Amino acid sequence: MGLAWVAPLADLLPLHSSVQRANEAEAAALRALAAAQAFTKKDCLPCPVAEGLFIGGAGAARNLKALRKRGITAVVNAAPSVPCHFKDCPEDEFEYLVLPLFDDPDAGGCCMRRA
106 vs 14: CA distance, rounded Å: 33
- Amino acid 67: pLDDT: 94
- pLDDT score, position 71: 93
Contact 25, 32 (CB under 8 A): no
Contact between residue 55 and residue 72 where contact means Cβ atoms under 8 Å apart: no
- The three state secondary structure string of 27-89 is HHHHHHHHHHHHHHHHCCCCEEEECCEEECCHHHHCCHHHHHHCCCCEEEECCCCCCCCCCCC
Pick among 3.10.20.30, 3.90.190.10, 3.40.710.10, 3.40.50.920: CATH of 44-115: 3.90.190.10
| Spatial CB neighbours of 39, under 8 Å, sequence gap ≥ 6 | 57
Say what the pLDDT of residue 29 is: 75
> What is the overall mean pLDDT for the chain?
77
* Positions of the chain with pLDDT lower than 50, given as ranges: none
Please write the tens of the pLDDT for every residue from 8-40.
656 666 665 666 777 777 877 777 766 666 655
Q: Where are the domains of the chain?
A: 8-42, 44-115
